[in-house]
A and B are shown apart, each in its own frame.
Chain A
Amino acid sequence: MMSCLEAKKPSLCHREPLTAEKVRTTLAVLKGVLTSCYGPFGRLKQLHNGVGGSVCTTSQSAVLLRNLSVTHPVLKVLIASVQNHVSCFSDCGLFTAILCCNLIENVQKTNLATATAIKLNKRLLNFCTNYLRSESCGCRIPVDFSSTQILLCLVRSVLTSKPACMLTRKEVDHISTLILRAFLFTIPESTKNPIILGKSIIISLKGPRVTDSTVLPGVLIEIPEIQLMKTLPVRKSSALKVALFSTSLSGDFSDPGEGSVVVSYRVSLENAVLDQLINLGRQLVSDHVDLVLCQKVMHPSLKRFLRTHHIIAIDRVGVTPIEPLSKATGAQPIGSLGPVSPSSYGSVKDWHSAQFGCKHFFHLIPNEAPVCTLLLCNRNDTVADELKLACQTALHVLQLTVKEPWVLLGGGCTETHLAACIRHTTHKEPGNILQGEGCTQAELQLIAEAFCSALESLAGSLEHDGGEILTDMKHGHFWSMQAGLPSVVNWPDLLSQCGCGVYSSQEELSWSVLRNTCHPFAPQTCIPHEALEINQQPARGLIVDCLTAKLSGLQVAVETANLILDLAYVIEDKN
């Protein structure tokens, strides 16, 4: 045998990667792609492989980032940390990514020493988190779990910020209610400590209209029609005993791996396994099991055996429903063909066969378990996937809100308000932020300006159609206006309400254009109670964001920006 040896190539080392023109342009392209997706009027992206693969139309960060294959380490770092945030919190992915890009860009423009900039960024981040968590925060609303108002607003905000879901107002209302109901289904009735939330499964159904979507308690398992017709045996009035198999019952033998099995002629391994399966079936019969569910395939003979003993046998359930099924029935997934321990069995209250659209389902109704199924209908394949993801996000956001029962004002208002706060504090009480870090006030002013304009241009990214962004000088909220209007207009008539919907333009406010650097002012802290009261009318919903997700997004954005700014060398292994 001959072997070929090749000398190793030396590693490549790039100094200060951010200064390279190529990195700057790719970063700008990435930022452009993400910014144009942001918000309810964001533009969509078509993702496809260029050779006839399926086309995905989306504006959600989770899908976009998953499909972007970037080459430069700087972008890789950025995408990886945003993806990590999205996998933990589902929401605010674009917020994080755009803010991070903005920060990198703005800080670079200041030409300050990186170490100082990083230090000050951290200070400002601290200031923001403290403010958002404090009682005096002016862009935070407590969530009242005794009414559905705020929760519905939260869900609606998540749904409407994904334009690729293509929902009309009526459909948004319908889906929001369903999501909230699905969420409420997952809250257990008993108040044992610790409370463990149940599961909601989302099933996408292509064909029927969105308004045909529904929530059902229990688990739906899709099965072919023909199989369903066969499985309709007797009904029992009492609870049904369930066995749940995660192993294959198809009668094949485990793979011997590298080695081989030697059997003598006239010995049939297939028959031996089948005998074992039938033995298992006998045990199930003698244990009075009523329903056998199998994740994988069941041998036809075993199926018939069970059926002749009036046991419903359903195979090819798939891996996704196994966990919810186990939760709903209390059954332990069985992983072997050996004797089944009686403790593995679970029970359900009842079952039905159901048809939605052209698909048939086996519907298991649990005794008490907090498990439900959200059936999402949609005409269009691409839109259905997008909607499913949006609903998952909304459900996740609701769960996060239970832990931290606060929501932040959305629609750009939190960002502009925060920026106003930072400006005001750096101007009036810079010591509060500096806290003896050894930086000068001038440096702080520079970085604070970079930070604030990063926040403000993030809010400005909500506008995609050439409108003008304003901020009011009292609350520091976000207002949008048609561009190119004559200067002598009555602003209160032109503007109706702020981005989040808390304040109306009729409140004797004064506005300034967001792009122009305005004189620092102290934005009003604490939202007046009346402002919220008025807006509790169903017609005027508020736009709100999940506090937990947004705080984490802010943190990830600033820290990732710091990390990228701090990169001194990129060492590339060329082998």
Chain B
Amino acid sequence: MACRIINKRRHVGLQQLSSFAETGRAFLGPVKSSKFITDEGCHKSVLVSSTVRLLESLDTTSAVGQLLNEAVQAQNDTYRTGATTLLFLAGAWSRAVEECLHLGVPIPIIVSVMSEGLNSCSEEVVSLQVPVHNIFDHMDSTEAVSGLETVSGSSLPQDLSEAISVPEKQDLKDDVPQLATYSLSEKPGKSPKFFKPQATVEAGKNTSQTLKNLHTDTCFRKSVLIHSRHFKRTDNNQGICTPNRFLEQCGAATFQTYGCRDLVELAVGLSHGDGSSMQLVEAAVRLQYQNACMQPGSRAAPFMFDISRLFTFCLPGLPETFSCVCPGYITLVSISSAAMIQELQNRPIRVVLIEGDLTESYRHLGFNKSTHIKTVLDGVKLQEDSSEELWANHVLQLLIKFSVNLILVEGNVSEHLIEKCRHRNQLIIGSVNGRVMQTFAEATGAVQVAYITQVNEDCVGSGVSVTFWRNPLDDLDRSNRMAILLKTEGISMITAVLTSPVRAQMQTKEDRFWTCAYRVHHALKEEKVFLGGSAVEFLCLSHLHILAEQPLQKGDHACLGRLHDTSSWLASSLASYRPTVLKCLADGWHRYLSALLCNTATYSSELEASTFVQHHVQNAVDSGCPSAYILKEYNKLNSGIFNLGISNKPEQIPRVYDVVTPKIEAWRRALDLVLLVLQTDTEIITGLGHTQINSQKLEGCLFL
């Protein structure tokens, strides 16, 4: 057993963490660059374009690598999104922590202040949440139109009328003339087009110029805010208010942004540059919604997007245009079954669901076969057929008895049996996903059984229809298999068919589809989204800068974070180190934003991007209320900070959204990981004889 001290002068663990994280930098943001990973041993290579796949292919056997992998996997298993954010922030923050160590900040203080800082950020970003309500209320009306036009078409007029009506309702004394002059002088007489300047670059510049000129004026800042609905809601007269009151308001979570009320808008906002996958997801949600509406009693319960009923089916080789979603289950069967499918088409068939394998020798899990059993013959004539043959005949008889034509099996199926059944128009499909089985059980009334001998009339489901997915001769792949579609009346299952001419891209495509699907799932489930395009991260960054400036209140226990022991000198000297640590934490966000801007090719160099971020942070901090600044900038298209690489045609720029909990959890996990590594000072390698560790690794090891 050996142990190695890992933080002598420079913390090795943190260094490892930041170098691991560096590998995932290219995956940050909507513009992702893929990577080829080549195995030098067997000369195989894989194309990866997501953090999860990257870590799967990297050698992460070192302790820190393992912990990182574990954290990313846990995030991915729970949310299916946010892995890249986690990876990058883990790297950025481990550098920030190294910086703190370099400055001589005691470790417990780093741990405490950083976790307090992130907590405070998570509370602060609530103000950038956008409610997602009643998204399915006007589903029918928007059904016909799809695509990007709907975004600007459906959401803006409503907001505009509200925004415009604000001054009248508010009855602002001194501000009204000023505001009115401002707004009307821009586009006199055409009030519904008030916000249109945003749609054209030139006018947008104009506005922002005006805004910047008046920026220092407190009164004006208020009038900008009037465009948000927040001011309509508050009943008290805005009049002339002091900057303090203003701060109070923006500090609280009263900032109501417009809310997202349309599925198209939501989907486009969450697509993060992957429109094609998102269109499929959107179509799947619509299908499921329609399906739910048709169910009896559907009005009683509000519609929930059930992602567990969504499946993917990958068909490499076909052009991308063949991607689609359809209700039911799609799978591949051998081409030799074509005749049988032809026969079974257009009539309801009966189905049996088998939980395990469908072979003669299969026994249920947990059954131990005894090996010491000998069978002897005592004068009885042995039947000629083998036991396999006997069993297959027995199965056939059962299937005929209950007139079953379809068997779905979770495990493997005996080839011999498939062959036999094919001649009798009985289709057996093996390796079916457990959730698919469950859905079929619900839709057909079938009961899953472990052994086919358990089947009786109550177990058989009915009403399944089988068809070719497309013309059978069109999509033959090399293995001579074809896709068929199984469905029943009102089945809630939806399969997304993903096609790609490039086989290597298939995995990426599937991953991206699921990422999009889960984003929509989380947004609908939580009924809220964040304003995206890194607005949230920007707010965190500015908020931390403000927090660092604020003096610490005496006796304020919340700021002690994880410093539980208040009697220690660390608690009393916390205040002096706090600004440094908070700034280092903010640097992590800064790196994140710069890398993001760099990746979207808005800026050629990291330095340029960093300067740009710096400039905006300064503005936001100076404004006294970063969230107001962000909301204002957000509505300006040419400001560039929150509109990254979605489209370069201004009139098509929709809002960008982000999921809430997965994002915050990714931050938390990243910081927890960094702090866990930071607090670790020794690596103990167990269970190995000294000789088995190679001498290179042994450097700096102590032995017990």
Contact = CB atoms under 8 A, between A and B. Distances in A.
Contacts of B380: 265-266
A252 interface: yes
A43 B672 contact: no
Contacts of B67: 46, 55, 57, 382
A265 B375 contact: yes
B685 A48 contact: yes
Given A167-B562, A261-B373, A301-B454, A50 B693 contact: yes
Given A69-B1, A167-B562, A252 B367 contact: yes
B573 A496 contact: no
Interface stretch (A28-36, A417-425, A544-552): A28-36
Interface residues of A, number: 92
Given A30-B704, A379-B669, A465-B107, A168 B557 contact: no
A172 B676 contact: no
Contact of B364 (A156, A250, A266, A495): A250
B372 A299 contact: no
Given A52-B66, A252-B369, A166 B676 contact: yes
Interface string A342-369: 0000000000000000100000000000
Contact of B108 (A41, A263, A499): A41
A498 to B, nearest CB: 6
Interface stretch (B197-205, B231-239, B539-547, B563-571): B563-571
Contact of A255 (B108, B370, B555): B370
Contacts of A494: 572
A54 interface: yes
A264 B377 contact: yes
B190 interface: no
Given A265-B380, A297-B365, A300-B450, A166 B672 contact: yes
Which DSSP category, helix, strand, loop or mixed, fits chain A's interface? loop
Contact of A48 (B66, B560, B568): B66
A253 B363 CA distance: 13
B36 interface: no
A168 B562 contact: yes
A33 B682 contact: yes
A257 B368 CA distance: 13
B20 to A, nearest CB: 14
Contact of A44 (B355, B365, B434, B676): B676
B3 interface: yes
B132 interface: no
Contacts of B704: 26, 29-30, 68-71, 75
Contacts of A264: 375-378
A262 B364 contact: no
A79 B572 CA distance: 37
Q: Which of B67, B119, B434, B555 has the most CB of A within 10 A?
A: B67
Nearest to B567: A497
A253 B369 CA distance: 8
B688 interface: yes
Interface string A62-76: 001001111100010
Given A265-B380, A467-B570, A253 B370 contact: yes
B684 A304 contact: no
Contact of B373 (A67, A269, A316): A269
Contacts of B107: 41, 43, 464-465
Given A57-B67, A166-B672, A251-B367, A229 B438 contact: yes
B74 A256 contact: no
Interface in B97-126: 106-108, 111, 115-116, 119
A261 B686 CA distance: 45
Nearest 8 pairs of A and B residues by beta carbon: A297-B366, A300-B450, A52-B61, A260-B372, A160-B564, A43-B681, A465-B106, A50-B685
Given A166-B675, A207-B74, 15 more contacts: A33-B684, A40-B564, A48-B684, A50-B685, A50-B697, A54-B66, A70-B704, A169-B558, A252-B367, A262-B373, A265-B377, A300-B364, A301-B454, A379-B672, A411-B565
Interface of B: 1, 3, 6, 13, 61, 63-64, 66-67, 70-71, 74, 77-78, 106-108, 111, 115-116, 119, 355, 364-370, 372-378, 380, 382, 434, 438, 449-451, 454, 555, 557-558, 560-562, 564-573, 665, 668-669, 672-673, 675-676, 679-688, 693, 697, 702-704
10 contacts: A46-B63, A75-B704, A172-B564, A207-B78, A256-B372, A263-B374, A265-B377, A297-B364, A299-B367, A379-B668
